[in-house]
A and B are shown apart, each in its own frame.
Chain A
Amino acid sequence: MKGSLFNVFIALCDGKYAIFNTMTGALVFADEDLKGILGSKDVRIDELDSEMVNRLEKMGLIVENGVDERRLFKYNYLQNRYSNRDAHFSILLTYKCNLSCPYCYEGRTTKPEKSMDDEMVERVIKAIIGKVKETGSRNLSLALYGGEPLLCLNGGMKILRSLSSWCNSENVNFKSALISNGTLLTRATVNTISGHVDAVQLTLDGPRWYHDRLRVFCNGRGTYDRILESIPLLREAGISVILRVQVSMENIVLLAELFDDLKKKGFSEDKGIRLYAFPLMELNPACCSYSSLCIDEDSYEDILPTIWAEGLKKGFVMAFKPTPSFIQPYCSFASDSSYLIDAFGDVYKCVSLVGQQDHKVARIDSMGRFIDVSFELCEFMARDPLKLESCFNCVYLPTCSGGCAYRSLLSNRTYFGKDCALHRTLEYKKILFYIRSKYSDRLKVIE
């Protein structure tokens, strides 16, 4: 027997330790002795009773000598990436937006305006059905975004209706989400999307006065009240709400104020409303990961835990135990069955690269086929964390899997690089936070 490569040791008080396995997600508390045994290369199992050995092996904290855990990781990782089970498409319905948030325009000279026309809507529907048929996926999830997707509501509804009825007839589970700035979600609009959209993601930049300086209508008026008004409408229609709070160095101290306000409105009691903190990024809000940060790289490992703690005080759970990437992929588009399609019918693999022609991986032709499939797709897909030396030797490999390919492209000019940004230390903090919030009565964590 040997100790797992993927055990993270966390010192608690009184000589106690928490041991977290990044491959299995198992968490155990141990004393100095047990920690010593598990930490050594050659586990002296004769010092443990057989019951204990059994349990530790089940949890993956110790493994047989002949087991190559990296192989196990590789198998799970690739199986997940190439699984045909879940097809996902994010559709950029329009580049237009009715707001003029300054950070959205930074560094841009022209404002793209293209919306998906009816013909393209038809093509996209055909293309998605074709892909799902070809791969035999059992689940199809759709995210409509933009710009502001509600500016292209007819196209969006056409896509939702056609795909959900096709999925129904073909026994494919269908789920859909809308990523919106929330300002156009009137009662009438909510009625239209009701029954077709499972979740809506909205974005807040801080408490009202702060938010309203940034997220503004073209005339400069703030959007905070309008966004918050839409939440009860959505909830009444049975649509769950994901509130994404954008965090920057500047607003961090103000978030308590925001949480207070949300709590006052009763949002913390509603299980259908989920809050999460996302470092402010330059590009598109559709990326569910922590990518494309524009706050100082070294500071979020302090910032995010502070926000999680603040949120928890007000009843919002915002951080969870790290999960292996083959259970919950870090990048939504790492999977071979996930694509983004923009208003021009161009296909991309990364949300931060949408619109950049030289990074498109295919396009949809008039017959609704994916054509001109480019090598960019192979490059994106061939990224392999086990071929990166530091990832190969990293204890967080199962949860991080090399991080964000786009961020690697930014810093290394290739997808074949690591992006530790939100993993190496943040993962550790997540575990700490988890222990603290769950076992606070029993253990005090040594800072």
Chain B
Amino acid sequence: MKSSIYNICIQTDGCNSIIFNALKGTSILVDSEMKTAIESNSLEMICPEDLFTLVDSGFLVEDDLDERNVYAFEHNQNKYSTDISSFLVLPTLSCNLSCPYCYEDSLNISRSRSMDRNIAENVTNFIKNQVMENHSRSVVLGLYGGEPLLESDLCIQIAESISKWTMSRGLNYFSALTTNGTMLSQETFDKLRPFISSVHFTLDGPEEEHNKMRFYKGGRGTYSDLMKAISLAGESNIHLTVRIHIGDRTGQGDFAKVLGDLEAIGLRGRPRTYLYFMPIEPKDECFNTSSKKSLRRKLKNIELLPCIWNMARELGWGESLHVDAGQEHSLLPFSRLPCGFLKNGCYVIDPSARLYSCPSVAGIERYSVGSISQDGTAIWLPSYYDAITASPTDATACKDCSHLPLCNGGCPVRPSSAQEPDGCHLKEFYNKKILTHLAHKYPTLIWGT
């Protein structure tokens, strides 16, 4: 037996430590003696009973096991299998609002382009071709923007076509509309409803806060219109996801206010309702994770989450939160990929039918990895293969890192934080996540800092 290379040891107070196994997602509280035994591979000091537990939970592994292969296998399996094909379509890059954070990034996206019907036709053909080529059983369609409902006819055109096509082929179909909510009239919703499964809204905090961030070109806030839209969608049985941003100044009471407003429109206890809290991040955040500033902000934000979750739970929103380890919106989602977008079978399509491997750069031609031609087939650039085959198991800094199964090497599109001269500080970020998660899950244990 030997210690797992994916054991992460975090000191909690003077004498105790947490060991978290990043591959198995298991954690254990140990005293300093046990910690030394595991860290230094002095296993003769451990009694047989403990030994069994440690092996069973993956803290210790067989001598001849190279866990890197386990990781590599899971990583590749996640990345290359295409049982699901997913398409994020941006029918337009323009938006009827002028939220500051959308413009405050370094990417300078020109926001005036929209698709035309012909391109939309090519895009639907591409989707069908690609699903066939991938031999997928399930198709996920995302309508995204800009504000997709500025082109609601295109949204309907694409969603209707794909929905009917999947039905005729016996494929599973799931589609989500991400909207700022300001253009969702009853009429538009009724037209779209048969072809979409879910609507995704974002709130920037309580009314006052939200209106400072999300306003029409003239400056009028969007909160009340957004609430109307959520309420309207909420009356149907559609899936609803509400993302609530955590801003620098949002406090506990503010979230209670938002939840109160959502309760007033009947969302509390509504089935198929998903609520999650997210720190506001610039659109190009993934590109800057390696900066110290970003790290500081992230560390601070992580701390806030458990309190918010607890409050939401106390107010009766427990069923809408999905924050257990392994769940999508938790601190430890246990994916084997750095990003859900960099996956075989996942495509981001801009209004000019260019293809991207990432939504945050959609619309910026130099980041495009291919394009859709008239006949609905893709022409890939070499950069597509470079991006998709990039693997943290090849990166010198990451391939032996204990945090690899949690971090997965970070975004391969951005410059790697692992190559920073002072080493990778993402480890600190993940340690914080682990501790915060555990503190939330086992509140009776007392932690140091």
Contacts and interface: CB of A to CB of B under 8 A. Distances in A.
A378 B136 contact: no
B445 to A, nearest CB: 32
B166 interface: no
A66 interface: yes
Interface stretch (B63-71, B114-122, B184-192): B63-71
Nearest to A63: B382
B382 A68 contact: yes
Contact of A378 (B70, B82, B344, B386): B70
Given A78-B80, A136-B138, A384-B72, A66 B385 contact: no
A391 to B, nearest CB: 15
B305 to A, nearest CB: 33
Contacts of B68: 382
B101 interface: no
Contacts of A137: 135
Contact of B382 (A67, A81, A171, A381): A67
Interface in A129-161: 135-138
B389 interface: yes
A134 to B, nearest CB: 9
A79 B382 contact: no
B80 A72 contact: no
Contacts of B344: 75, 79, 82
Contacts of B382: 64, 66-68, 71-72
Given A136-B83, A378-B70, A75 B389 contact: yes
Contacts of B82: 79, 83-84
Given A82-B81, A136-B138, A378 B385 contact: no
Chain B contact residues (Cβ within 8 angstroms of A): what range?
20 to 34
A166 interface: no
Nearest to B66: A379
Interface in B62-99: 62, 65-66, 68-70, 72-74, 76-77, 79-83
A343 B353 CA distance: 53
A15 B389 CA distance: 40
Given A171-B170, A379-B69, A68 B385 contact: yes
Contacts of B80: 78-79, 81-83
Contact of B386 (A68, A78, A83): A68
A235 interface: no
Contact of B137 (A68, A136, A377): A136
A375 interface: yes
A123 interface: no
Contacts of B386: 68, 71
B113 to A, nearest CB: 26
Contacts of A377: 73
A71 to B, nearest CB: 4
Contact of A72 (B73, B79, B137, B385): B385
A22 B79 CA distance: 25
Nearest to A86: B135
A84 B135 contact: yes
A136 B73 contact: no
Is the contact region of chain B dominated by helix, strand, or loop, or is it mixed?
helix
A83 B77 CA distance: 9
A85 B133 CA distance: 10
Nearest to A386: B394
Interface string B339-371: 000001000000000000000000000000000
A133 to B, nearest CB: 9
Contacts of B138: 136
Interface residues of A, number: 28
Contact of A382 (B62, B69, B388): B69
A336 interface: yes
A336 B382 CA distance: 26
Nearest to B62: A375
B170 A78 contact: no
Nearest to A138: B135
Among B66, B69, B83, B170, max chain A CB count under 10 A is at: B69
A75 B370 CA distance: 15
B344 to A, nearest CB: 6
B73 A84 contact: no
Nearest to B77: A82
Given A68-B385, A336-B81, A82 B135 contact: no
Contact of B136 (A82, A136, A171): A136
A180 B345 CA distance: 40
A165 to B, nearest CB: 17
Nearest to A170: B170
A137 B136 CA distance: 8
Interface in B384-416: 385-386, 388-389
Contacts of A336: 77, 81
A378 B69 CA distance: 6
A74 interface: yes
B389 A71 contact: yes
A378 B83 contact: no
B76 A83 contact: no
B389 A83 contact: no
B76 A82 contact: yes
Contact of A85 (B70, B73, B135): B135
Contacts of B73: 377-378, 381-382
Given A84-B81, A136-B136, 5 more contacts: A71-B389, A72-B382, A78-B80, A79-B80, A83-B81
Interface of A: 64, 66-68, 71-72, 74-75, 78-79, 81-85, 135-138, 171, 336, 375, 377-379, 381-382, 384
30 contacts: A64-B382, A71-B382, A71-B386, A72-B382, A74-B389, A75-B385, A78-B76, A78-B79, A78-B389, A79-B82, A81-B80, A82-B79, A82-B81, A83-B82, A84-B81, A135-B83, A136-B83, A136-B136, A137-B135, A375-B70, A378-B69, A378-B73, A379-B69, A381-B76, A381-B77, A382-B68, A382-B69, A382-B73, A382-B76, A384-B72
Interface of B: 62, 65-66, 68-70, 72-74, 76-77, 79-83, 135-138, 170, 344, 382, 385-386, 388-389
User: What are the nearest 7 A-B pairs in CB distance?
Assistant: A136-B137, A82-B80, A382-B69, A85-B135, A378-B73, A378-B70, A71-B385
